[in-house]
């Protein structure tokens, strides 16, 4: 009888030793999800011009950051405040003042973790925009 208790005790201890690192890893993942996103850093990643290809035409939308807020509009038009959608990472929305049209903007990271696309949805139609990477002039 004492031998079987020793085996059970040894098994329980072994399981506890194996479970502790997994529990710590899960706790770290949960903490990372609860950590507030650094909005200024995120906006710096988003800022730039995106080329949206709609049927028959191309439209360049420029996103800028002012005072920790995201603004955007087609080049040459007045910028609109674009608000983050709570609970949905990389998602923003805006109701355009002039037309009343409601837009959802979902920014997308590539396989290297870089934001290089934006999916703009209006009235059920989604249009994908690609971030324009401006090459730096070599002197």
Nearest to 61 by CA among 96, 11, 30: 96
**pLDDT at residue 55, as a whole number:** 81
Task: List, in order, residues 6 or more apart from 52 with CB less than 8 Å away.
Answer: 58, 59, 60, 61, 118, 120, 127, 128, 129
Q: What is the pLDDT of residue 138?
A: 57
CA distance 73 to 53: 15
3-state SS assignment for residue 85: coil
Query: Could you tell me the CA-to-CA distances from 134 to 4, 66, 79 in Å, in that order?
Result: 71, 21, 21
Q: What pLDDT score does 134 carry? A: 75
Give residue 133's pLDDT: 84
**How is residue 12 written in tokens?**
């329980």
Q: How far apart are CA 90 and CA 109, in angstroms?
A: 9
How confident is the model at residue 13, as a pLDDT?
35
* pTM recorded for the entire structure: 0.69
Per-residue pLDDT of the chain (139 residues; tens, 9 = 90+): 455 444 344 433 333 333 344 344 434 433 334 445 688 999 999 999 999 998 888 999 999 999 999 999 999 999 999 999 999 999 999 999 889 999 999 999 999 999 999 999 999 999 999 999 876 555 5
Residue 23, pLDDT score: 40
């Amino acid at each position: 009888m004492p031998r079987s208790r020793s085996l059970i005790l040894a098994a329980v201890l072994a399981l506890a030793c194996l479970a502790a690192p997994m529990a710590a890893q899960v706790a770290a993942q949960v903490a990372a999800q609860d950590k507030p996103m650094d909005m200024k850093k995120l906006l710096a990643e988003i800022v730039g011009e995106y080329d949206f290809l709609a049927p028959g035409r191309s439209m360049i939308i420029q996103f800028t950051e002012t005072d920790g807020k995201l603004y955007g509009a087609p080049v040459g038009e007045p910028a609109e405040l674009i608000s983050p959608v709570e609970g949905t990472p990389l998602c923003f929305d805006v109701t355009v003042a002039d037309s009343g049209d409601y837009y959802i903007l979902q920014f997308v990271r590539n396989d290297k973790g870089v934001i290089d696309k934006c999916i703009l949805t209006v009235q059920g139609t989604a249009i994908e925009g690609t971030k324009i990477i401006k090459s730096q002039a070599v002197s």
